[in-house]
């Protein structure tokens, strides 16, 4: 689901924090992204609200020519993205499965790819050895969590964290 900003202005929540409203329903993974950015978010009857600082950071992700690779709070260092991927792996796998089911990751012949094939299509992994990425993606997505936290799978774990960040940033901009 793509979002549209409901108002050009800001609103204050019950704690006085400045929030931006969107016509979008945040998923558990979206909320994890917002927390990783240091912000707050919540669903409302009309959509969602995201703290001004996190909303601004998400706008910066959208505006950056290199996306999440531009370096954003909580998504800059491998130690950050590794832990995010480990802590949110089930949510990431569920999002990937949803995207595969929606036809976002397909072979040239139109055949849908599985979640590992989807990861192999990430732009930030295009220069990596496909055999290595395939093995590492399988380990990150379905192997023991200790493997992710070991630091041996940082390239794929980082790509998955960046993917979650870019997905939310794109959704809040109406998919642009």
Tell me: pLDDT of 6 over 50: no
Give the DSSP H/E element, type plus range, for residue 49.
strand 47-51
Mean pLDDT on 153-176 = 89
The reply to whether 104 and 19 lie within a common domain is no
More confident residue, 7 or 60: 60
Tell me: pLDDT of 12 over 60: no
The reply to whether 97 and 16 lie within a common domain is no
The reply to whether 165 and 78 lie within a common domain is yes
Q: Which domain holds residue 98?
A: 68-170
Mean pLDDT on 96-105 = 92
Which two tokens mark 149? 């936290």
The reply to whether 74 and 141 lie within a common domain is yes
Query: What was the pLDDT predicted at 107?
Result: 80
Tell me: pLDDT of 153 over 50: yes
Helix then strand then coil, in percent of the chain rounded to 5, is 55, 10, 35
The reply to whether 85 and 38 lie within a common domain is no
Query: What was the pLDDT predicted at 7?
Result: 42
Q: Round to whole Å and give the CA distance between 37 and 53.
A: 8
- Is this prediction's pTM over 0.95? no
Helix (H/G/I), strand (E/B), else coil: 176: coil
Order of strands across the sheet with 11-12? 11-12, 18-22, 47-51, 41-44
Which two tokens mark 175? 């998919």
């Amino acid at each position: 689901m793509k979002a549209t900003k409901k108002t050009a202005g800001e609103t204050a929540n019950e704690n006085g924090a400045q929030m931006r409203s969107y016509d979008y329903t945040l998923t558990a993974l979206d909320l994890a992204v917002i927390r990783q950015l240091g912000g707050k978010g919540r669903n409302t009857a009309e959509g969602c609200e995201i703290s001004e600082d996190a909303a601004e950071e998400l706008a910066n992700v959208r505006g950056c020519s290199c996306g999440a690779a531009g370096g954003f709070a909580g998504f800059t260092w491998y130690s950050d993205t590794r832990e995010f991927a480990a802590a949110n792996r089930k949510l990431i796998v569920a999002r990937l499965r949803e995207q595969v089911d929606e036809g976002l990751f397909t072979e040239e012949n139109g055949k849908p790819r599985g979640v590992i094939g989807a990861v192999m299509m990430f732009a930030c992994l295009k220069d990596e050895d496909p055999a290595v990425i395939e093995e590492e993606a399988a380990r990150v997505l379905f192997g023991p969590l200790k493997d992710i936290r070991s630091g041996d799978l940082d390239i794929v774990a980082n790509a998955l964290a960046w993917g979650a960040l870019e997905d939310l940033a794109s959704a809040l901009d109406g998919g642009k």
